Amino acid sequence: MTDSSTFIAALTSQNLPNINCHIRVSDEPSGIEKNVKTGTVHLVGAGSGDPELLTLKALRVMQKAEVVLYDSLVSEDILDMCALTAEKIFVGKRRANHALPQEGINELLVKYALAGKTVVRLKGGDPFIFGRGGEELQEVVRHGIHFESIPGITAASAAASRAGIPLTHRDHAQAVKFVTACKKLGAPNNDYDELLDSTQTVVFYMGLNRLDEMTQGLIAAGRDSNTPFAVISHASLPTQQLLIGTLGNIAEQQAEAKLPTPALLIMGDVVNLYHEFANYNLGALGKSTFIDVQNVVSSHDLVSNLEVVT
């Protein structure tokens, strides 16, 4: 039986595939020759920001990357775990502030893959949960490029776990819905009639700046104003903050507390369980441990640090 350092080293030593294929002239970006060895695109979920929640598979691929396109929600600690020789390109988006439009990101993925590079598209959370991962892969496969998708821990799971709010519970919630507060092109998601079932937990992504409007819309649609409601900011990080209230008063509480983005909203009876667990939850008490990855540059360093944390 090998130790964990050897195990991680074995993972990171595996070669990632390059695919030989002929590029159609219509798909060629300028400066790319025909019949080059086409690279691959690896869509990687970086999780919610805590580097200890990154998967081993994600780490292996990140350390083989030649080009990394990363979002604004990818923490510096996680970005530092990528190959030191990789070209790192920021393509982040926060509300209406986009470093690069989505079409531009798609073009970069295709450009570098057709140039034979191992491309990592590093996204906060999970790429397939409000991460536009599907849109990017549609463009990738349209150009005949092979891809791999590696899941990450989505913010809803990370935030709820650290806060001690189970998203499902047999006595309180038999289903959970993940809902975006904004549709394509920034249009508000006002489908409140779909969110009135009290046996379901609802998690809103990207909704903090619409909190007042959304809570009023939900009450007007028929949701009980006494429904428990939580705002969780900076999911899973040492700076995570939590605000507990009801559908009827959470907007007023947030106006005073001013929790920062990024933040998640959780609505449902499971929120009340926070109070039952709080005095025993190391995360809620601020006593959970976090790895210091400032100097982590290899898988061996990562494992060494992880073994110290208990």
Gap between the Cα atoms of 168 and 179, Å rounded:
16
Q: What is the pLDDT of residues 209-219, one digit of tens each?
A: 999 999 999 99
Q: Which residues contact 32 (CB under 8 A, 6 or more apart)?
A: 23, 111, 114, 115
Q: What residues are annotated to the active site?
A: 71, 93
Gap between the Cα atoms of 186 and 177, Å rounded:
20
Which CATH number does the domain 156-280 belong to among 3.60.60.10, 3.40.50.1970, 3.40.630.10, 3.30.950.10? Answer: 3.30.950.10
∠ Cα 168 72 256 (to 5°): 65
Over 50: is that where the pLDDT of 102 sits? yes
Gap between the Cα atoms of 123 and 274, Å rounded:
29
Over 80: is that where the pLDDT of 290 sits? no
Gap between the Cα atoms of 133 and 126, Å rounded:
9
Q: Classify 15 as helix, strand or coil.
A: coil
Q: What is the pLDDT of residues 36-92, one digit of tens each?
A: 689 999 999 999 989 999 999 999 999 999 999 999 999 899 999 999 999 999 998
Which CATH number does the domain 4-153 belong to among 2.60.120.260, 3.40.1010.10, 3.40.50.2300, 3.30.70.100? Answer: 3.40.1010.10
Delimit the domains of the chain by residue range: 4-153, 156-280
Nearest to 137 by CA among 124, 125, 156, 119: 119
Rg (CA), the chain: 21
Instruction: Give the DSSP H or E segment for 267.
Output: strand 263-267
Count CB-CB contacts under 10 A for residue 224.
13
